[in-house]
Amino acid sequence: MHREELTRWVGDTDAFLDRYWRTTPAVFRPAPGTGPTAPLTLEEIDTAIAGGLLRVPHLELARAGDPVHSSRYTRARTVAGVTTPGYADPDRVRGLLAEGATLVLRNAEHWHPATRALTRALEAELGRRVEAFFFVTPPGAQGLDLHRDDADVLLLQHTGSKHWTVRGGPTGPDWAPGEVTDGGPALLTGTLGPGEVLYIPRGFAHEAVGGEGLSSHLSLTIREVGTQQLFASLQRLLLGSLPVPGRPLGDDDLHAAAASLLDRFRTRLPELTAADVVEHARRAQLAEGTVPGLGSDPGIAALAARLGTPHGSPATAVVREGGNP
């Protein structure tokens, strides 16, 4: 399978999947003009925040591992008489950045079309859901303490530099994402500059500190399904379109419904494989992450074109009595 987008990030994709995927952190330095570019620029972030429509939880600020309370960088807006809190306040956001807080834009693919195009391309190549997070960190600042993510991470340094430390992964299947006090010995340390890529395997503990200049980087989290998703997929595969009454009345109906379920399970179970269940769970996870309508046709402009709506033509003046428009 040709993985054009992944190639921009890691070069030889076969070597990446064989040598690093899920096992080893690594830094990749694509040749000039061949690597990925950040679809979301600092100027676009400025515009988005200044526009005032970004809200918590798509926007967050943190300092030294602790989230800054949203009341310190958001304000309420009143529309049609309804007041809603949580909208970004541009002045407060800039002030906290100047004081050393880290700005985190979560799931930028939800509202930024170019970022969504990137995540969709990687989803098609990897068969997993991909989400995009953008971090802006002042020099010497640390937004998050040592922590584990429930995802493989590909991150691209966009501006400035950042010093990274990646430690070991979980020792067994019963682990949880979040902060850790001891991630074991460092497996990788180094400073990333613009255009360089870092890969962190799922669950490997890591932390970073802003270097020279204002650091900004794009983190792509590559999600994997877990046991809960496998169980849900197994239920759907076993039941299919079997019509089962929601509330059987009486013992006879209840036993009939149970018998119908057992018959279906006995028929379907021998036909299913572990690969069937995993594939179904991954497809379901991809579908859950789809943003309805973003970049799709029909959009409003496409609908106007199909309806033959005049576009950009000067308005026609209305002539009132007396000859004056």
Of the listed ranges 6-15, 120-129, 290-299, the least confidently predicted one is 290-299
**123 to each of 23, 111, 140, 247, how far by Cα in Å?**
20, 17, 34, 40
pLDDT of the residue at 244: 75
Average pLDDT for 203-211: 96
Quote the tokens at residue 268.
């379907």
Residue 203 backbone zone (phi > 0: left; psi -120 to 50: alpha; other: beta): left
Helices (H), the chain: 4-10, 13-19, 42-51, 90-98, 113-126, 227-239, 250-268, 274-288, 300-306
pLDDT of the residue at 159: 96
pLDDT of the residue at 292: 63
pLDDT of the residue at 201: 98
pLDDT of the residue at 320: 53
> Which position has the higher pLDDT, 274 or 303?
274
Sign of the four-CA dihedral 290, 295, 299, 302: negative
**CA nearest to 206, candidates 137, 244, 154:** 154
Quote the tokens at residue 153.
């991470």
pLDDT band at 203 (very low <50, low <70, confident <90, very high): very high
What lies within 8 Å, CB to CB, of 233 at 6+ separation is 225, 277, 280, 281, 284
Query: 85 pLDDT exceeds 70?
Result: yes
Work out the number of other CB atoms within 10 angstroms of the CB of residue 261.
14
Average pLDDT for 311-323: 53
**CA nearest to 217, candidates 96, 31, 45:** 45
pLDDT of the residue at 306: 79
User: What one-character DSSP code corresponds to residue 220?
Assistant: E
Average pLDDT for 36-60: 92
Spatial contact of 68 and 143, defined as CB atoms under 8 Å apart:
no
| Percent share of the chain, pLDDT over 90 | 73
pLDDT tens-digit map of 167-178? 999 988 889 999
In whole angstroms, give the CA distance from residue 60 to residue 92. 12
Task: Give the up-direction half-sphere exposure of residue 286: CA atoms within 13 A in the CB hemisphere.
Answer: 16
Query: 136 pLDDT exceeds 80?
Result: yes
pLDDT of the residue at 321: 53
- pTM (predicted TM-score): 0.86
Paired with 135 in beta bridges are 104, 217
In whole angstroms, give the CA distance from residue 209 to residue 142. 5
In whole angstroms, give the CA distance from residue 73 to residue 235. 44
Angle at 275 between CA 3 and CA 257, to 5 degrees: 135
Work out the widest C-alpha separation in the chain, in whole angstroms: 87
In whole angstroms, give the CA distance from residue 65 to residue 179. 9
